Structure formats: C-alpha cells, structure tokens
Structure 1
Amino acid sequence: MKKGSQMISRIKAIVVVLMALPLALSACSTRPITDEARAHQIVQGAQLAVQKFKASNEQPMDEFRAMLPKAQGILIMPGVIKGGFILAAEGGSGVLLAKNGNGEWGQPAFYALAAGSVGLQAGAQVGDAILLIFSQDAVRAVIDHQGKLGADLGLIIGTIGAGVEASTTTNAGADILVFSQGVGAFAGGSLEAAALIKRNDLNKAYYGEMLTPTDIVLGGRAQNPAADGLRKVLNGQ
C-alpha cells in the first residue's frame, strides 16, 4: 500500500510539471493562459484529434472508425507528451465524455493523464491518444477511481495504433481500447501505472461553476455550447 501511495504521489508530481511546462516556455513572450482559455484549447484539440483519427488512412484507424459507434465513453488526450532523461514521463490534459440515455454524446469533463517509469530515455514526442470505453460500468469505474487505471479498475485494456509496440494484453473483450497516433506512449502495461486525475479547476472555468466529473458525465448537469463541435464529430454529424 505504501509503495502504491508513493507511486501515485510521484505521478501527481509529474502531472504538475507537465501542466506547468507550457506556461514556463511562454512566460518570456506572452501572458499566462487562463484556465478558461486552456479548457477551450483542450476541447478544440480533442475535436481535431477525433477528426484526424476518423480521416486517417492508417490501417489501425479502420478499427477506430468501426469501434467508435459501439463505445459508451471516450477519453481524448490531444497532444500527449512523452519525454525525459532518467525519469520517463507521459502526460497531458484531455476530456472524458459518455453517451446519454438517447445514445448521444454528452458534455466533456477535464482530466490529466500521467504515467511514470524509470529508464534511460531522451528527447520528447507529441501525439494524440484516444481511449474508447465500452460500457457504462467501465465509465463509472474510471470516474470513481481517480489516480488508478488498468488492473486497479478491474478492467481489461487493449492497445491499437500506429507506432505502438504490441500490447501485453489481448484486445479481445477489452473494456477499454487505446488508440494513438504519433506517440508510442501507451504500449503494453504502461497504462497499468497511469494516473487519471480530475481537473476540477478546468471544469469550473469551462462551465462557470464547480462541477465534478460525475455531475458532468453521468449527471448531465453541465452545458457549454462550445463543446457542440466535438459532440457533433463524435455523433457522426
């Protein structure tokens, strides 16, 4: 238990660094971006990522197009960062959505995703990752277990995507399928140690009130017309 707590603490520290990095790089020339503007950028990036995956000629994206209508939830991480030297880190911010009772996609809740591992790596890569979630129970498990993903959720995770090494888990009967382009960040068991952390600060900035992912994704209590473009792309319009 102590070892697990230390891992979560380390991953949360990585998230803080990853979220602060863009601000640090731009501080000399521009004003820091507001939470509201950042939230809108993430939603726009998520929409572009889905459009890119749907339009891709790469063979793995044929399966993405086939499986998207079957998904009950989706976690979209545009511009996932992978980099480091001694401590390798993957992370970024994205949105979680789920289908409502009418089978249409609801409003997005904001999350940060980070996975840490020790290794001799250098440089950085940026790409997009999308996690398709195939049951409402799995969606609820993701929401209820902040900081835990993979085996801790009792869910089967499979990996598909260009540039991704072979997954260590079979994709048959997977509760979650991970698709990626441009980054090999989620191969094999890397998601087993990943932390999925609620961004309630961005939820508040985007919706103008303090709402939890449960309120937004499962309760249908949120509304922002700025997310309509993303929802239409997911709904196939």
Structure 2
Amino acid sequence: MRRLLPLLFLVLLALPARAQGREEAQILVDQAAMALPELVGDLDSASRDQLSLLLREARGVLICPRILRAGFLIGGRGGGCVLMGREPWGWSAPAFYGLGGIGFGLQIGIQDMALMMLVRTERGLRALMEESFTLGGDLGVSVAGFGATLQGATTAALGADLVSLARARGLFVGASLEGALLSARPGWLADYYGEALTPRQVVVEGLGRNPGADRLRALLARITAPTR
C-alpha cells in the first residue's frame, strides 16, 4: 500500500494538466469549425463546386483557424492547426499541430488569418506526418496558394502537393507562409483521445474517438459533398 501511494499522488497531479490540455485542444477544434464558413463564405458557386471537388480528391486537409502575424522589419507568426484525413468512410478525427516562424525583410503591420491547406498527394500527407515540417523548405514537397477565387486554378497550383486557401483581416505587407514551421502536438493527442496516439494513427488509420470533433467533421463533410 505504501508503494502505491507515491504512484497515486503522481497520477492525481497529472489529472489537471491532462484536463487543461483536453480543453485547449477542444477550443482549437471549435475554432476550426467556426473558421470553415469564413473560409468558404466569399466563394462564388463555381468556386465552391471546385473546392468541393478538390476536397473529394484530397488526401487530407489542414485547418489553421487563427494565425497571428505581426512585425516591423522582423516579423513573427503563430497559431494552432488541425489535420484531418479523407478516407472512403469520411473525414478522420483531428490531429493537432502548432504553426510558427520568424521572417526577415520588409514586413510591417498586423494580421489575423484563417488558413485551409488541401493535402493533394500522398507525398504531402507523409510530410505532415513528420514531427515537424517547414512549409516551402522541403525540396520534395511543393506548396502553392489559391487567389481570391478558385476558378481557373487548374494548372501550377493543382500540381502542388499542398495548396492553401486563406482569409485575412488586417494589413500585412511582405509576408508569406514560406519558412513557417509546422510541429505536431502529441501531448494534445493523448489528452484529447485519452491514449497515446500518433498523427498517422489518427489521420490515416482512423483511430481516436472524441464526440467534441463531430461538429467539425460534419461541417467538412457538408462542404465536401457535391451540390445537386
């Protein structure tokens, strides 16, 4: 019994930290669900149809609901992201990532941006399964971005492994996502799903269950479904 008391004490100490991690992960999932309508809301019907087709062809999607960027000459950016895989049975539960980085050069202003990144190839998905990944820094993985609409985006952008669609509030001159570091958050996975899981197990193998992600998965499925 005496031997068990120290172990029990350590378990009790870990419970508040796990609850906090689960709560932070749920906030990010809820923010991603709120960002989806904003990301697609300004698209015309033709562009929405094209986005739906691209999502049905994608291997996964990364949603970063709030990336804050600010700076003068030296700029910083940061935010949380969720990665979900597309399988025949539907969209997976989310894996959790952090996005951060520092850039140099002519950078001025403040910006709050929501980002959706379509994972179009198996190579792109494998890159995101790594512990960390630098956007634009991996010579084997190409990254492109759509403009204000998706119409006509069928050439160079659609040949990329990762293609981004962003909505920004505020003015920021001279910044891009080039060089931003995307890092997995394994601790959040354990807290959110109650067991130690890797991003691959959640996104590719379909493991991990939490009803808190059902709304996000349903919204993404609705955007993915073809319009009649």
Q: TM-score, normalised by structure 2?
A: 0.75
- Give, in angstroms, the shift of residue 106 of structure 1: 0.5
Counterpart of 1:124? 110
Judged with a 3 Å threshold, the aligned counterparts in structure 2 of structure 1 residues 199 and 231 are, in CA distance, closer, same or farther, namely same
Larger Rg: 2
Q: Deviations over 1:63-91 (max 9, x none)?
A: 43442222111000001111123420122
Q: Which has the higher strand share?
A: 2
- Indicate the SS of the match to 2:92: coil
- Give, in angstroms, the shift of residue 184 of structure 1: 8.7
**Is 1:209 aligned with 2:195?**
yes
RMSD: 3.1
Counterpart of 1:44? 30
CA distance in 2, matches of 1:220, 1:173: 27
CA distance in 1, matches of 2:170, 2:117: 14
Counterpart of 2:77? 90
CA distance in 2, matches of 1:186, 1:232: 33
Q: Decide whether the 8 Å contact of 2:127 with 2:133 is kept in 1.
A: no
Judged with a 3 Å threshold, the aligned counterparts in structure 2 of structure 1 residues 183 and 68 are, in CA distance, closer, same or farther, namely farther
CA distance in 2, matches of 1:115, 1:37: 25
**2:61 pairs with one of 56, 70, 74:** 74
Judged with a 3 Å threshold, the aligned counterparts in structure 2 of structure 1 residues 153 and 109 are, in CA distance, closer, same or farther, namely farther
- Indicate the SS of the match to 2:35: helix
Q: TM-score, normalised by structure 1?
A: 0.72
Matched-pair identity in %:
33
Counterpart of 2:51? 64
Which runs of 5 or more residues in structure 2 are unaligned?
Answer: 1-18, 150-154
CA distance in 2, matches of 1:180, 1:231: 20
Judged with a 3 Å threshold, the aligned counterparts in structure 2 of structure 1 residues 76 and 215 are, in CA distance, closer, same or farther, namely same
Aligned residue pairs, count: 199
Q: Which of 1 and 2 has higher RCO (CA within 8 Å, sep 6+)?
A: 2
CA distance in 1, matches of 2:67, 2:75: 13
Q: Deviations over 1:21-60 (max 9, x none)?
A: xxxxxxxxxxxx9322211111111112222223324699
**2:120 pairs with one of 115, 121, 134:** 134
- Give, in angstroms, the shift of residue 139 of structure 1: 0.8
- Indicate the SS of the match to 1:50: helix
Q: Which has the higher mean CA deviation after the structures are superposed, 88-97 or 54-63?
A: 54-63
Judged with a 3 Å threshold, the aligned counterparts in structure 2 of structure 1 residues 225 and 138 are, in CA distance, closer, same or farther, namely same
